[in-house]
Amino acid sequence: MPFDYLLILGAFLFCVGLFVVVTRKNAILVLIGIELMLNAANINLIAFSSFDPNALQGQIFSLFIITVAAAEAAVGLSIVVKVYKHFQTADLDKINELKG
């Protein structure tokens, strides 16, 4: 199994996540993109960790990332719900209160 392919897959996932984050109007989809990017990072961590069987730091790190992702998803979604209640929309292009 070529190691480079793993890394390329991770990079691909990250870029797709980035694209989704940047282009989609809906806040839920943006969160989905963020999840994709986190997963891309996890793939890299696990891939490198597999060459280090004794320390397993990569796996532990990815476990923490998953946890943080869960927390982030919970908080993020609750914010989205709150924003929707407030602005009556979840489209990020319409929520530009900070426009200069």
Partner 1 sequence: MELNDIIFYVFGAITALSALYIMLTKNILYAAFALILTFIGVAGIYVFLGAEFIAVTQVLVYVGGILILLVFGIMLTNRLSGKKVVSPAYNKLMGLIVAAGLFAILFKGILQANFSAMNWIDKGASADSSIPKFGLTLMTDYVLVFEIIGVLLLLALIGAIRIAGNVRKEDKSAV
Partner 2 sequence: MIDLQDIILPKSDPIIYWIIALLAIPFFSFLSTQKFRSKAPHWSTFLLGLNTLIAIYLTTRYWNSDFITVRGHWFKLGETQITYSFLVDRLTLIMSVIVNFISLLVHLFSQEYMRKDKAKPRYFAFLGLFTFSMMGIVLFNDLLFIFIFWELVGLSSYLLIGFWFEKKSASLAANKAFIMNRLGDLGFITGLMILYTQFHSFDLEAIKSLMIYSEIEGGNWVAQFTNNGHEIINTLDGRWLSAAGIALFCGAVGKSAQFPLQVWLPDAMEGPTPVSALIHAATMVAAGVYMLARIFVILDAQALEVVAIVGAITAFMAAIAALSQFDIKKVLAYSTISQLGYMVMAMGIGAYTSGLFHLVTHAFFKAGLFLSAGIIIHQLHKLESKEVMFNAQDMRVMGGLRKHMPKTFFCFLMCALALAGLPGFSGFLSKDAILLDLAVWADIKGGGFYIPEVLAFATVLFTGFYTIRMILLVFFGNFRLPIIMQKNELSGRLKEGNWIMLVPVAILALLSLSPVFGFTLNAEHTWFVEAMPTPIYLVPISYAAKSLVDVTPETFEALHGLVNAVSIGLAIVGIVIAYLAYKPNAKLEQEFVERREPRGFFGQVSFYHWYQDAFYRKAILKFVMLKAQALSWFDKKVIDGIIDGLAKFNVVFAHLIKWFDRYFVDGLVHLTVFTSGRIGQLTRSIQSGNVQAYILASFVFLILLMLYLVF
Kindly tell me which of 1 and 98 has the beta carbon lying closer to partner 2. Answer: 98
User: How far does CA 97 lie from the centroid of its chain?
Assistant: 25
**Could you identify the residue written with the tokens 């280090």?**
52
Is residue 90 within the footprint of partner 1 (CB under 8 A)?
A: yes
Q: Which of residues 46-75 bind partner 1 (CB under 8 A)?
A: 46-47, 49-53, 55-56, 59-60, 62-64, 66-75
Q: Which of residues 50-89 bind partner 2 (CB under 8 A)?
A: none
Sign, Cα dihedral of 98, 76, 18, 44? positive
Cα separation, 10 vs 37, whole angstroms: 8
Is residue 84 within the footprint of partner 1 (CB under 8 A)?
A: yes
Binding site for partner 2 (CB under 8 A): 18, 21-23, 30, 92-93, 95-100
